[in-house]
Amino acid sequence: MRFFEIVLLISGVFLPFINTSKKRIINNLWLLIWSIGILMLHILFEGLRWQMFSIYIICIAICIVLLRGISFFKGKTYLKIIKGIFLVLFLGFGFLLANTLAVFELPVPKGDYKVGATYFYIKSEQEETITIDPTDKRELMVKVWYPANIKDEKKEYYLDEGERKGFAAKYGIPSWLFNYLDQVDTHTYVKPAIANRKFPILIFSHGYQANATGYYALIEEVVSHGFVVLNINHTYESVGSLFPSGAIKLYDWEYNAKHNNKEMSQLIWTSMQQYKNAITEKEKEATVSYALKNYIAATITERWANDIQMVLNQIEHWNATTFLSNHIDITKIGVLGHSQGGAAAGLALEDNPKISAGINLDGTQWGKKLDLPFTKPFLYVSSDWPKEHPDFNAYAYKKGSLDDMYIVKIKGTGHSNFMDIPLMINSSMLNEAGTINPKKAIEITSKLITTFFNQYLNNADKNLMNTLANYPELLIEKKENK
């Protein structure tokens, strides 16, 4: 909660009792001035938001009582009890909502560069396999985050209209409930000039049915250290994509129902049971291998790796015709992703000769990758899964690598700690985060990303193992080259 929100809450707790006390030394006029003043300061400097609605009601009720010159708890005993219950419920409900769905603060990027962003649109001739329209072609929105020179540009709002509407549709709630996100202060400016040097390129793939750009904390930090990030929005499989025409394409539930069906549910459930019941390592490997290759996520991994290829195919064109011209080094390209996007990054790394290094942030490596070793530098970052959670990637990455390969765990993290969700939703029951401070998790993850890509794209004289030795939250294992 913000400063004046907290003051409003505290006023709502104490003013009814101060107003009722027979020994009070502050008269109603001063209490009224205080109440109205705090509410006006809150509106002026912080803005109204629906999460505070019940606290506003209490504030207005107190003002009415003070204007009338009566005591808040005036009346018979049963009326005092009812008013007390009313006060506790409304203030408690308001605090719960305002604190859980707070106007959160994104960490300030620590790099040398300010951050700018714009969008590129890709319209391909490839068939769109998700929709039933045979004339539909695959199209993508790509958010370009880049080191910037700032003049008088404005900062952008947190999440665009497509992502907000998609996020609301995902949970079946009105989209206006996310209007309060306008009050979140991002550190990303709208279309400023790009900084005057050449930067390496990172292609980023989001998690399945996630907000494609819901990684502000992580991406802003990475970009501030001198990287251009091409943030793909995987159409129909993110929560929503906003296109230049104004069209919004939400997550395709019809496709999901048809393909992520009972057969798929049975496949993954059976695999999990067989894994738990397996006695030998060979039995476990056979079960996991079948699931990795045949579960629907393997198909999604290939489709998203193809989206990454579509972006790769556009880079030379963008370098010749857009503001990126002479500001990107097309010989230095890395790929990374979170969750399902991490699997796509791992597959794209091996399938595309233009990509030099890759990172998977807590994604199960669905698909064919388990049959072959990596041939390029690769980093797998895992959250702190409970011991009973099967480690499918232990088998997916069993072939190891012919180049440098690192397996890293960040202790205390959950699956969402690579996203903004733990900042946006301040409840461990809802946000799927771990016990680690959310901003600490972002700090460590961004340090991993920038150190890794500086080493393998910029040839920096740094060693990932040594650089990150100061973080006790990290468990790092470097796989021996095979």
pLDDT band at residue 386 under the 50/70/90 scheme:
confident
Q: Give the residue range(s) of CATH 3.40.50.1820 domains in the chain.
A: 114-479
Q: Is the pLDDT of residue 241 over 90?
A: yes
Which pLDDT score is estimated for 19? Answer: 83
Q: What confidence tens digit (pLDDT) does each residue in 4-63 have?
A: 999 999 999 999 888 887 766 678 888 899 999 999 999 999 999 999 999 999 999 999
Which pLDDT score is estimated for 481? Answer: 66
Cβ atoms of 294 and 398 within 8 Å: the answer is no
Mean of all residue pLDDT scores within the chain:
92
Q: Is 366 helix (H, G, I), strand (E, B) or coil?
A: coil
Q: How far apart are CA 92 and CA 9, in angstroms?
A: 9
The stretches of 322-437 forming alpha helices (DSSP H) are 340-351, 393-396, 421-424, 428-431
What architecture does CATH give domain 114-479?
3-Layer(aba) Sandwich (3.40)
Cβ atoms of 5 and 58 within 8 Å: the answer is no
pLDDT band at residue 371 under the 50/70/90 scheme:
confident
Nearest to 356 by CA among 453, 211, 232: 453
Nearest to 48 by CA among 96, 2, 100: 2
How many helices (H) and strands (E) would you count in the chain?
A: 16, 13
Q: Is 24 helix (H, G, I), strand (E, B) or coil?
A: coil
What is the enclosing helix (H) or strand (E) of 477?
A: strand 474-479
Q: Among the listed ranges 1-10, 46-55, 72-81, 406-415, which one has the minimum average pLDDT value?
A: 72-81
Q: Which two tokens stand for residue 43?
A: 């509106």
